A and B are shown apart, each in its own frame.
Chain A
């Protein structure tokens, strides 16, 4: 069964608009972590934001925020005031279990975001 689902293969947004990238997950472990990574055409994976399953508040990092709806098992990424440099692939990923360091990540299929000028 797919553990991480990103249903938007591609998104096109006008510069300066806000954009929401969807991510739903499936786990029976009460302890887990959710990540968003950005992958530009160079291929490097850039960490954007993290949400732990026990975190009370939604995570925010600058223009990035994570809309965490635990009951719905969704962890959508919101990018405010999009910029041309935001054009890239975006991956949602999940870590299961309590150990913070040495747990593998499971990735979603990715969403290609294109920002139009």
Chain B
């Protein structure tokens, strides 16, 4: 099946710094990718839709200036958490649907801890 990778798998950063998370579709092209956030013992909440060649679409309540999304190519989307704070500590997961397939392929996730 299709594979989506994320890098890094976990990261610890200090408050006030920025962190970049990469999401790659390894064997297919993805014009759209989705970024989710999951707090402990909670469900996945969609943060934004990443569109290749255009601006990302953010869900209500998600700060676009804090969570910068860049869909640089048909196989890569990046999420940058700017000026991270401890409350940004969470599990970030990306997904990519392969066109004409109903299934969305999820990356393995990135665990961010802000100290």
* Nearest B residue (CB) for A46: B106
A11 CB to nearest B CB, Å: 15
Contact of A43 with B43 in the complex, beta carbons under 8 Å:
no
Number of A-B contacts (CB under 8 A): 63
Binds B, one of A12-20, A68-76, A102-110: A102-110
Q: How extensive is the interface on chain A, given as a class?
A: 20 to 34
Interface residues in B81-115 (C-beta closer than 8 Å to A): 91, 93, 95, 97-106, 108-109, 111
In the complex, whether B56 has a CB less than 8 A from a CB of chain A is no
Interface residues in A84-110 (C-beta closer than 8 Å to B): 91, 95, 100-110
Interface residues in B45-63 (C-beta closer than 8 Å to A): 45-46, 49
Contact of B102 with A33 in the complex, beta carbons under 8 Å:
yes
B-binding residues in A (CB < 8 A): 33, 35, 37, 42-45, 47, 50, 52, 91, 95, 100-110
Q: How far is the CA of A106 from the CA of B46 in the complex (A)?
A: 8
> Which among B45, B46, B93 is the interface contact of A43 at CB below 8 angstroms?
B93
Q: How far is the CA of A103 from the CA of B103 in the complex (A)?
A: 10
Contact of A107 with B103 in the complex, beta carbons under 8 Å:
no
Contact of B49 with A52 in the complex, beta carbons under 8 Å:
no
* Residue numbers in B under 8 Å from A37 (CB-CB): 106
**What DSSP secondary structure best describes chain A's contact surface?**
loop
Contact of A100 with B101 in the complex, beta carbons under 8 Å:
yes
B101 CB to nearest A CB, Å: 6
Contact of B106 with A45 in the complex, beta carbons under 8 Å:
yes
Contact of B34 with A104 in the complex, beta carbons under 8 Å:
yes
In the complex, whether B72 has a CB less than 8 A from a CB of chain A is no
> Which among B44, B103, B105, B109 is the interface contact of A50 at CB below 8 angstroms?
B103
> Which among A42, A47, A102, A110 is the interface contact of B103 at CB below 8 angstroms?
A47
Q: Which of B42, B97, B101, B104 has the most CB of A within 10 A?
A: B104
* A45-B106, A107-B43, A107-B44 as given contacts; A101 in contact with B100, CB under 8 Å: yes
* Residue numbers in B under 8 Å from A110 (CB-CB): 42-43
* Residue numbers in A under 8 Å from B105 (CB-CB): 47
